[in-house]
Structure 1
Amino acid sequence: MDDLTYDEVGATAGEMPPGYHHVRARRVIGQGPEVFARAADALLAGEAQRRAGARVEMPHTPLREGDRVTMRLGLGILSFRIPCLIVWAERTATTAGFAYGTLPGHPERGEERFTLTLLPSGEVVFEIAAFSAPGRWFTRVGAPLGRFVQAWMTRRYLRAL
């Protein structure tokens, strides 16, 4: 994990570090173990990102800790390469998810975590936690646009499963 562009690996699991923009979002996506199982399969196959409009290259399905994943957003000269490292991945009977950290070349620096939980009530909850800061010259210059894009993608991810 030496080439990650931030130091606070795993911070999306708890208190997020100062000096970054923070995102926390959640949505109930359904009810019951069958919904959870289907959503967990899709999440760990990168489908939240694909269904949100990203092109995703990943070495394994399901995602595993240590996998390098490259996403692309946009078209033509407005296409961005988004390299990430999976810093956490897990699947149990009631939780599933992964977190990726930014690698050199990513427009931002930070971490994003996607977690599904099957609650005792039967509700299936999809949560996203992220902290980020501009990582490239164009994201520093266009920081307000970057926050807009991040909020837009977060909404798309939440609807994707």
Structure 2
Amino acid sequence: MKKIITLAPVALILGLASNVQAATQGDVTLRGTIVDTTCEITVNNGAAELNVGSFGKTAFNTAKKQVGQEPLQVSLTQCDAEEQGNLQVTGIVGADSEIFMSNTGESAGFMLTAEDGTTQIKNNEAVPVTADADGNLTYTFQAGMTVMDIADIVPGEYNAPIKISYVTN
């Protein structure tokens, strides 16, 4: 019995030490991509935010229709001459893959129109582009806001993080 009592503090210290050990470690997944291009992309002239404007509730007379046309410029430089690839927009979307939001519970979001002025850009959809003879390209999306339901327009400030990538394959 005396041996068990003597070993109890040792077991306690070892138990505490193993908990401390676990708290000083962490796991991380490293991720990277190898691409077959020399292109460098610049979105929105390097600015992290694009203000698409302020709209009154009455501007939204149809649900899921883009209101506003703020230019969102994408520039590619240092590509191979006449290199072909795709611009790809990704972000948070709900069932409507062309409405970008900060979370799917929002009553309003953002839409992008392709350079043709009519095609709505969908999440993760490829937009074909070709660099010029000097290896450069400028593509301009038009950004605007939309509401999910005209009967449930909630005034306030909205945002949506998106990523625009240049992909070859």
TM-score, normalised via structure 2 length: 0.32
